[in-house]
Structure 1
Amino acid sequence: MKTLKVILGIFLVTILFAFTSRGDKAPQKVKDAFAKKFPTAKKVKWEKENTTEWEAEFKMNKVEYSANFLEDGTWKETEHEIDENDIPQNVKAALASSFPGYEMEEAEISETQNGTVYEFEIEKDETEIEVAIDANGKVVKQEVKN
């Protein structure tokens, strides 16, 4: 029994090491593009987002950010959380009128090459929805989460 525990422990440590060590192996093109776009970023942690993208989590001006890049270094998106007070009034009004009775759980700004949107996680009873609203107050995405 003791031998089994030792083998299991070694196996778990190996798996943990494999998952944590591969996260910082972002391609040099990605790291270079990141450094050029965010020269003042601190505490950068890389993670493979999916088969074609890398995500960097970092701090800049005491704010936590995430940014996604393609394998060739192409920037895709930057996100950071914002306070409810920093959301434009027309965006708040669009959220309230489109989703009455929902409570805001989280708010972020998402910047892409196509522009800026405000992303929200909202909740009502057992229903959770991710919503994106553009700066003009138009709902551009909504997705019910399980």
Structure 2
Amino acid sequence: MKALQLSFLALVLVGFVACAQDAKNVPAEVQSAFESKFPAAKNVKWEKENETEWEAEFKKGGKEYSANFLTDGSWVETEYELKKSEIPSLVQKTLDEEFAGYEVEEAEVSETNNGKVYEFELEGEDSELEVTIDTNGKVINKVSEELEDGED
């Protein structure tokens, strides 16, 4: 048991060191583009998503954000959590009409060069849904996952 705990601790420490090294290696183009787009960002944490993309996690206006940039500094996407009370009325109407019986577990806004969409994790009695709705209330994507007995 002790060996398992030590192995887990070592794995966690390696993960922290890897993240810290990533933050030091953020390309200047990415850092500059980020600072230009989000000058008021606080507590920025960087992570390399893959060979061509970096993600910054930060706070802005009391909300938690993530923003992705390509290594050349091109902005890809910004996401932030949304309170249920902040869901626009057209989007809420779609949730009420097309997903009655499901509860919003998580809501966030995703902004890209193609515009803004709302992404939801919904939970029903027997299934969970991941749903994307545009600003006009149109469902763009829906992925369903069945829950096994006892799973919440």
Bucket of the pairwise TM-score, normalised by the shorter protein: 0.7 to 0.9
Q: Counterparts of 1:32 and 1:74 in 2: how far apart (Å)? A: 10
Instruction: Kindly report which structure 2 residues correspond to 1:1-146, keeping only aligned pairs within 5 A, or say none.
Output: 12=11, 15-24=14-23, 25-145=25-145
**1:21-50 CA deviation, whole Å, 9 max, x = no partner?**
333122221111101100111100011223
The C-alpha deviation readout for 1:74-101, integer Å capped at 9, x for no partner, is 1011111111111111111112222221
Aligned mates of 1:10, 1:72 — CA distance in 2: 35
Segments of 5+ residues of structure 1 without an aligned counterpart are none
**Could you tell me the TM-score, scaled by structure 1's length?**
0.84
Q: What is the RMSD computed on CA atoms of the aligned residues?
A: 2.5
The aligned length equals 143
Whole-Å separation in 1 of the counterparts to 2:19 and 2:53: 17
How has the CA–CA distance of structure 1 residues 8 and 105 changed in structure 2, closer, same or farther, with 3 Å as cutoff? closer
Relative to the length of structure 2, the TM-score reads 0.81
SS at match of 1:49: strand
Q: Percent identical across equivalent pairs?
A: 51
- Give structure 2 stretches of 5+ with no counterpart: 147-152
Matches of 1:52 and 1:19, distance apart in 2: 17
**Distance (whole Å) between structure 1 residues aligned to residue 56 and residue 142 of structure 2:** 25
AA aligned to 1:22 is Q
Contact 2:19-2:46 at 8 Å conserved across structures: no
